[in-house]
Amino acid sequence: MRPLLHVGIACLLFALTACTTPVYDLRSDPGFTYAPLLAGGLAIGGVAAQLEPLSPAVATQEAQVLAQAVAAERPALRIVGSEAVGRALGVPRQTRLQDAFGGGPLPGDVFSQLAPLGALARYVVYARLERDEVFQRQGTRVLDLPDPVYEARDRDGHRIWVPLYDRVEVIDVFETVRRLVVYFEVLDLHDARVVWSGRIEKSGSHSNDFSRGVGPAWSPGFPGVGVFPPPPQAAGLLEAAYRGFAENLPKVP
């Protein structure tokens, strides 16, 4: 039988569930609670990448997506966008701090550099893409199907149906997975300290399924030749990470 191609290119965002997104390497200051966050507001300092610097256009776009994601998840919070941050700090200073965060920790005088921002918000968040990896994996899935039967008689002469064999369909799965890790850091401009930091991981996959055909379970046939699909776009996973950060901000007690 000629293999049947099932193009199962549905993006599986594994971490998008009803549960709060887990945060790895979490550090949260006990004083960083809902009341001061609600009163002080949150500014978007910027989005950077450890792997390679983001272009100014991409960095601006990602900062906007981060602001929109936080606003969507936490509509009660006052969000100060990166455009307003640039006006308060000056774009050159904003860019220097953003680029510094992409390469490692923010500079030691970051709070003095961010002082003009204190009139707009008490807290500021920076995000850094630390890992963007794509890998492929191949597996096999076996579907149990209704068995073929033949008519027979039991000892009392009653008609019965007897299975001929265990009938299955063997499917080769060719999957391309993308995994992102984003590090977030929230600074308290009032107390000049980092009050929240952690890493959020999001992953998704696309898959192509190829049927080897239908037959007995004891005769699965030879592995099929398949094509790996392209990976999911990074943009959707990044937005999911931003939403995961917002989910973990302090909530109403």
* DSSP conformation letters of 75-94: TTS-EE-HHHHHHHH-HHHH
Gap between the Cα atoms of 175 and 206, Å rounded: 6
CATH of the domain at 129: 3.40.50
pLDDT tens per residue across span 27-75: 999 999 999 999 999 999 999 999 888 999 999 999 999 999 999 999 9
Query: E strands within 53-166?
Result: 79-80, 123-144, 149-153, 159-163
pLDDT at 217: 59
pLDDT at 221: 54
Mark 52-77 as b/e (b = at least 16 C-beta within 10 Å): eebeeeebbebbebbbbbbbebbeeb
Query: E strands within the chain?
Result: 5-6, 24-28, 42-49, 79-80, 123-144, 149-153, 159-163, 167-188, 193-216
Structural domain includes residue 237: yes
Structural domain includes residue 39: yes
Query: Three-state SS for 46?
Result: strand
Structural domain count, the chain? 1
Contacts of 210 (CB under 8 A, 6+ apart): 3, 4, 5, 6, 171, 172, 174, 224, 225, 226
pLDDT at 224: 58
pLDDT at 142: 82
Structural domain includes residue 145: yes
CB of 161 closer than 8 Å to CB of 80:
no
What is the number of other CB atoms lying within 10 angstroms of the CB of residue 217? 14
Helices 82-89, 91-103: inter-axial angle, 10-degree rounding: 110
CB of 234 closer than 8 Å to CB of 51:
no
- Which tokens in the block code for residue 10? 């549905």
Structural domain includes residue 252: no
pLDDT at 4: 32
Gap between the Cα atoms of 138 and 161, Å rounded: 38
Backbone φ, ψ for residue 97 (5° rounding): -65, -40
Structural domain includes residue 179: yes
CB-based burial label for 205 (10 Å; 0-12, 13-18, 19+): buried
C-alpha count within 13 angstroms, C-beta hemisphere, residue 93: 15
Nearest to 48 by CA among 109, 107, 96, 112: 96
CB of 22 closer than 8 Å to CB of 185:
no
Tell me the residue range of the domain where 55 lies. Answer: 5-247
Structural domain includes residue 96: yes
What is the number of other CB atoms lying within 10 angstroms of the CB of residue 24? 10
pLDDT tens for the chain, residues 1 to 253: 233 333 333 333 433 334 789 999 999 999 999 999 999 999 999 999 998 889 999 999 999 999 999 999 999 999 999 999 999 999 999 999 999 999 999 999 999 999 999 999 999 999 999 999 999 998 888 887 777 777 777 788 788 777 666 777 888 889 999 999 999 999 999 999 999 999 999 999 999 988 877 766 555 555 556 688 999 999 999 999 999 999 999 998 8
